[in-house]
């Protein structure tokens, strides 16, 4: 019986860790989101987080919604610049280039589009926004299920952050899997914070006050 109790307690340890980490992240970011476009405080930039690009090079539904939400923020004068941060670790897979092309199609001036090709996860994107691009005041753009973790990461990077949800439709069958993944990802982001994890890359400064085209590079990472 004693052995059984020990096994039960051991099995509960990861459950408790996940529960505590999720509570810490969710409670920390509570209240740091805007419910409508008009409620978004003015910021230096929107940090637009990457998402899946389809094999044909088009943005997935989630990424398209983040792109359009970022365009709305810019056109409404809520942000001065757009910082597009995502995965471009392979030449044939380019989240930031996809976002940039769509935003140019939406009429956003090239000089106000900054690209971060080394935003391999939310923690890296937030750290690089502060340490490479010099952002201090930011609106974080992503879907609602991801928003608490994204704002948590931004605030731990030293940014004054407001979250703004990019949900413009339902996302269907993928959501249960993404919500489960997000539950585990909150554990990772808390661990990154507690251990002071460094982003995979930093590189030279690209001030957000300058011309965004300086961050584009010939085809890929400038860092």
What lies within 8 Å, CB to CB, of 139 at 6+ separation is: 34, 40, 41, 43, 45, 46, 47, 73, 78, 79, 161, 162, 163, 164
φ, ψ of residue 21 in degrees (nearest 5):
-65, -45
| pLDDT one digit per residue (tens) for the chain, 223 residues | 666 665 555 666 677 889 988 998 999 877 788 889 999 999 999 999 999 999 999 999 999 999 999 999 999 999 999 999 998 877 788 999 999 999 999 999 999 999 999 999 999 999 999 999 999 999 999 999 999 999 999 999 999 999 999 999 999 999 999 999 999 999 999 999 999 999 999 999 999 999 999 999 764 444 3
Number of Cβ within 10 Å of residue 17's Cβ equals 13
Class of residue 200 by CB neighbours under 10 A (exposed 0-12, middle 13-18, buried 19+):
middle
What is the pTM (predicted TM-score) of this model? 0.90
What does the pLDDT read at residue 8?
54
Give the distance, in angstroms, between the CA of residue 167 and the centroid of all CA atoms in the same chain.
14
Cβ-contact 29, 152 below 8 angstroms: yes
Give the pLDDT of residue 223.
39
- Delimit the domains of the chain by residue range: 21-215
Distances from the Cα of 52 to the Cαs of 8, 109, 143, in angstroms? 39, 24, 13
CATH tag, 21-215: 3.40.50.620
- Helix spans in the chain (H): 2-29, 61-75, 95-105, 122-131, 144-156, 174-195
Q: What pLDDT shows up at residue 222?
A: 40
Q: Are strands 79-85 and 33-34 parallel, antiparallel or unpaired?
A: unpaired
């Amino acid at each position: 019986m004693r052995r059984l109790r020990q096994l039960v307690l051991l099995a509960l340890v990861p459950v408790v860790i996940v529960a505590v980490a999720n509570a810490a992240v969710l409670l920390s970011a509570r209240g740091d989101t805007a419910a409508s476009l008009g409620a978004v405080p003015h910021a230096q930039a929107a940090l637009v987080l990457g998402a899946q690009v389809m094999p044909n090079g088009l943005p997935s539904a989630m990424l398209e919604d983040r792109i359009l939400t970022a365009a709305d923020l810019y056109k409404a004068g809520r942000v001065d610049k757009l910082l597009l941060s995502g995965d471009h670790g392979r030449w044939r897979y380019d989240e930031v280039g996809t976002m940039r092309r769509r935003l140019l199609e939406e009429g956003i001036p090239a000089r106000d589009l900054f690209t971060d090709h080394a935003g391999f996860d939310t923690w890296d994107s937030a750290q690089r926004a502060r340490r490479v691009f010099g952002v201090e005041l930011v609106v974080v753009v992503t879907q609602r299920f991801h928003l608490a973790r994204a704002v948590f990461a931004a605030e731990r990077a030293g940014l004054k952050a407001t979250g703004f949800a990019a949900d413009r439709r339902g996302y269907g069958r993928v959501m249960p899997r993404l919500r489960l993944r997000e539950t585990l990802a909150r554990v990772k982001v808390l661990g990154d914070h507690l251990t002071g994890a460094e982003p995979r890359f930093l590189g030279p400064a690209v001030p957000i006050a300058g011309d965004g085209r300086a961050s584009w590079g010939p085809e890929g990472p400038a860092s």
